[in-house]
Chains A and B, each alone.
Chain A
Amino acid sequence: SQTIHQWPATLVQPVGSPLSLECTVEGTSNPNLYWYRQAAGRGLQLLFYSIGIDQISSEVPQNLSASRPQDRQFILSSKKLLLSDSGFYLCASTDQETQYFGPGTRLLVL
């Protein structure tokens, strides 16, 4: 079975600072990869998904971007964070039709 790693686990950043969150997957090859954001007490919002290296779809307009430099690495970035970027960021990977999630990164923008 696959294992999904995310880091950092927790991050506190000032408004306007850059962001880089990393996700790596073990135990599978050529997975679909996903970034979700979860605001406090709310459901999941799909931000990006990728079906292969350099193949990334954006679901919502925002100041975030995603990159997939390697088959099992997915990076979420921002050049300038906003207060509204605070939340719990989850990376997910598919095994056939089932999605598996990483432990998440809690981001607080002050």
Chain B
Amino acid sequence: GDSVTQMEGPVTLSEEAFLTINCTYTATGYPSLFWYVQYPGEGLQLLLKATKADDKGSNKGFEATYRKETTSFHLEKGSVQVSDSAVYFCALILASGSRLTFGEGTQLTVNP
């Protein structure tokens, strides 16, 4: 079946550090890929998405590139801020599907 694997957390960084959160997937078709962010006590917000191979999604300084050859969608940010502290979820959906498949989430803490 379809699955998403994220790097295990928690991840702790200092402000202005470079961030990478790894995400790889297994899918039977050609999925669209998403990153969601969940701030403490809130619902999930869509951070960025990519719908086909080599697409790059970007938002708020975060980027992720859809790599079909490595089945990956790693999240990166060049300089994190304390306000980026949250849980990040990688997810996929097949073109013919109606359900998202989520990774387990990665807790990010950024210290000043």
Residues of A within 8 A of B (CB): 4, 6, 32, 34, 41-44, 46, 49, 51, 90, 92, 94, 97-104, 106
Number of interface residues of B (CB under 8 A): 23
Cβ contacts under 8 Å, B42 to chain A: 103-104
Cβ contacts under 8 Å, B98 to chain A: 32, 49, 51, 94
Min C-beta distance of A6 to chain B, whole Å: 8
Given A4-B43, A99-B34, A103-B42; 4 other pairs, CB 8 A cutoff? A92-B44, A99-B46, A102-B43, A104-B42
Q: Which residue of B lies closest to A10 (CB)?
A: B41
Count A/B pairs, Cβ under 8 Å: 47
Main secondary structure of the interface of A (DSSP, over half): strand
Min C-beta distance of A70 to chain B, whole Å: 19
Interface string of B91-112 (1 = CB under 8 A from A): 1010100111011110100000
Interface string of B66-95 (1 = CB under 8 A from A): 000000000000000000000001010101
Cβ contacts under 8 Å, B104 to chain A: 42-43
Min C-beta distance of A50 to chain B, whole Å: 10
Contacts A97-B32, A97-B93 hold; do A46 and B46 have CB atoms under 8 A apart? no
